[in-house]
Structure 1
Amino acid sequence: MSGVGMGRDTARTAAGDREPALGTGVDVLTPRDVPLGGPRAMTVRRTLPQRARTLIGAWCFIDHYGPDDVAETGGMDVAPHPHIGLQTVSWLFSGEIEHRDSMGSHAFVRPGELNLMTGGHGISHTEVSTPGTTVLHGVQLWVALPEGHRDTGRDFRHHAPEPVRQDGAVIRVFLGSLAGDTSPVPTFTPLLGAEIVLAPHSTTTLDTDPAFEHGLLVDQGDIRTDGTLLRGGELGYLGPGNAEVTLVNETDAPARAVLVGGTPFGERIVMWWNFVGRSHEDIVEARQDWEAGSGRFGHVDGYPGDRIPAPALPNATIAPRGNPTRPKGSTR
C-alpha cells in the first residue's frame, strides 16, 4: 500500500503481509474482503484477526460492511449458526437487522443501538436484514470470553446510548466508559466500545485508560490520530500507556469511527469458524456437537430455512494464537 497520508512511526499491514513495527506510534491494519453467510453470502471487510494482531483487549473479531444497496446485494441473510466462547456485538450505521437466538430472544438491531449476545458454552442465532432496509451499513464485533467465563450461560442485552457532545464530536458509548458516559451493559473483562462522529475540521481529545490498548476503525472519511492519517476501512492500533487519544478531522465532511479498547487479554485463543476456544480439541468438540444437533446450541425458531453446516476442519492441528511480543520496556 502507498504511503500517502502516513504519519510518523506508522506501519501499515494488509492481512497476510508483514507484521508492523511494534513498539512505536500507530500500527495500521488494512482489511481483507470476506464472504459472510453461506450460499447467499454478503461481502464484509475484516480487520481483526490477522497475522499482525489477534486481539485488542478481548476484542478478537471486527467485520465492517456497507454501505450496501440491498436491492443490488440482497442484504444480510445468515441462517442459524452456532457460537462458543465469545460475545457478539452488533452496531449499525444504517438499515435494520432482525435477530433471533436459541434462548428465545427476538430483537432488532437499529442504528445507534447495541445488541450484545453471549454464547459461552453454546448458542445459535440468525441475522436477517428487514424488508424495509434499503441501505445496510455497520459493524459486527466479537469479544473473547476469559477462561473463567468462557462456558457461561446464554445471555442477550440491548442498549441505546444517549449521544455525548464534545469539541465537535458526537459520541455514543455502547460498552465501558468514555467522555463522561458509562454503558450499563456488563462485560467479563474491562472493555470500551464507542461510535464517534467528528464534525468537519474538528479536533477532540478523549481521556482514556492508560491500562487499555485501543483500536480505531474508521468507517467514513479520514481521521488523524497520533500523527497518523487513518483512511476509511483502516484500523489503527494504539498500545497501552495512553492517558488520552486525540482525533482530528481535517476535511470538509463529517468523519465517523468506532473506538474499541480493553486491557491486554493475556490468553492465547483458538479461533475457527464461529468458535473461540483454547485448544484444537475445544473446536473439534464444538463442531461435532453442532453437526450432531446437540442441545448445547439450542434451536432458533422463526427462520424459514436450514441451518448452516459446519465446514470441514483443516488437515492440521489448529494452534492457539496470541499477539506479537512488543519490545521490552515498550508501552506502545
Structure 2
Amino acid sequence: MSLNVGVIGAGRIGKLHVDNLRLVPEIQVKSVSDIVVDHLELWAKDKQIKVLTSDYRQILNDHEIDAVFICSPTNTHAGMIMEAAAAGKHIFCEKPVSFSLKETEAALSAAEKAKVKLQVGFNRRFDPNFRKIRSLVQDGAVGAPHVLRITSRDPQPPGVDYIKTSGGLFMDMMIHDFDMARYIMGSEVVEVSAYGAVLVDPSIGEAGDIDTAIVSLKFANGALGVIDNSRQAVYGYDQRLEVFGSKGAAQAENNRPTNVEVSTAESVSKDKPLHFFLERYTQAYIDEVSEFAEAILYDKPVVCSGFDGLQAQRIAKAAKQSLETGAPVLLDQVSRQAAI
C-alpha cells in the first residue's frame, strides 16, 4: 500500500514536510505547488518531485494524488480544504485552519461530507515527552489533575511583516499551547483570562500585537491552567510543561544538545535548550506525517482532528477578547458569537 501526496506551499514548513514525507516508505511526494516556482526547480529535482506547478488546482485535479498538505498562508486554508475535499483528497492542513470560526466550521463540514481524513498540524502532540505526560494523566499516575502549567518562549521575535499577517500571538504562537492544554488534560477549556504586554520589541506593538502574554484557563473537569509566552528568550527555545495532581506531578523539561551537567567550585552549568522549533520538534514533525499516512492507509482516526483545530482557534479568539475587554471570557460565548 502506498500514497501519492501533493504539497501546496513550498515555504519553510512546506519544504520541511517534503523532507519528512520522503522518510515514510509508504509515501511518494509527486507534486508541489507554490505561487512562484522558478527558484524551486533545482530543489524539486533534488527531492525527485515529478510535478512542480504554480497552480495548486493541478494537484487537486490529479487523480493519482491521494492526499494534500496545505502549507500556504492561513487566509487560503479554508478554501483549499473545501476544494480538496470536493476532489476527494485526504487533507493535512497547517495551523490555524483559518482566522474565522465560520470559515473553519465550513471547511470541517466539507471534509466530513466528503468523508476524507483531515488532520491539523499541531505537531507538539507527537513530541515523545508530551505524549508521555498525556499517558501519565490518562493512566491516573498523577491522580486527578489540578493544575497545568505550560511555558513556551521563542528565541527571537519574527519580523514585523510577519506579525502583521500572523493573526496575533494568540492565534499564531499560543494556539499550539491551547491545543496542548486540551490534549494533555483530556478536558475542554470553558473559560479564558488573558494578559498581554509589549516588552520585547516596540514595533510589534505598533503593528497591533503583543510579544508577552499570560493566559489562565478553567477546564470542564474543574482543573486550572496557566500558559506563558514570550517572543524572545535570550537563552534559546524554552518549552516546558507540568501537570500537578492529587497523587503527584509530572514535568517535561527542555531538550538540550546533551544532558551533561558540569559542576565546579564556581558554578553548575549545562547546555542551553535547543535553538528553535525545527531542532526541538524534529521527531514530532516526522511522526505526525507518518501517523497521518497510517490513518489513511489503515482507516484510523487522525491524532489531531479538524475539531481539535477548531477548539484551539476558539480558545485563541477568547484570549484575544479577554485581552481587549479585561474580563474572563466563556468559550460558549465565543461559539455563540461565531454562529451569529
Structure 1-normalised TM-score? 0.30
Bigger share in strand = 1
Rg larger in structure = 2
Bigger share in helix = 2
